[in-house]
Amino acid sequence: MEYTSYKSIKYYAECAPLVEELGYKLVDLKIIPAKTITKISAIVCTKEPDGNMGVNDCAKVHRILLPKLEELLGTEETSMELTSPGIEHNIKNAAEFALFTGRNVRIWDKTVTDWISGKIISADEKSVTIQKEEGTEFTQTFENIAKAKFISAANNTNKKEEA
């Protein structure tokens, strides 16, 4: 799994503090210029590991984030989609692990060719540490993670999943 620093995502540094002031975290920000309109895609989550994002939460962030991005882009010809990660979010950027400390995840470990489940304890630029159900901690480097996704606490078992 690749680690892309949030510092390298254009306009992330300007937008993340606005989102955090509202009590949320900016997970992803994509800006895609098109012929007549600039498309913006953002993913936002709560600060609590198992918090829920509702429509009103997304609308609150949208009202603050869109004008800032239009100012940064120098255009009002924009279309913005703002979503929450969802209950079974696929982690695409290894930098997300640090944002989701305390969250239950499942990672596909290339070294054992199997899923390993647990709660994210910590993460840095190279690895993530999770606490397994039995209480033991497991650290894996991102290069040995093929994919990762959220799991609900109720489904935090060692059940198999299709790869």
Mean pLDDT over 121-147 rounds to 95
pLDDT of 159 over the 50 cut: no
pLDDT of res. 157: 44
> Is the pLDDT score of 136 beyond 60?
yes
- Secondary structure string (H, E, C) spanning 82-114: EECCCCCCEECCCCHHHHCCCCEEEEEECCCCE
pLDDT greater than 60 at residue 83: yes
Query: In this model, does residue 4 exceed pLDDT 50?
Result: yes
DSSP string for residues in 27-89: EEEEEEE-SS-EEEEEEEEESSTT----HHHHHHHHHHHHHHHHHHHT-S-EEEEEE---TTP
pLDDT band at 162 (very low <50, low <70, confident <90, very high): very low
pLDDT, tens digit (0-9, with 9 covering 90-100), for 50-78: 788 899 999 999 999 999 999 999 999 99
User: Do 82 and 65 touch, CB atoms closer than 8 A?
Assistant: yes
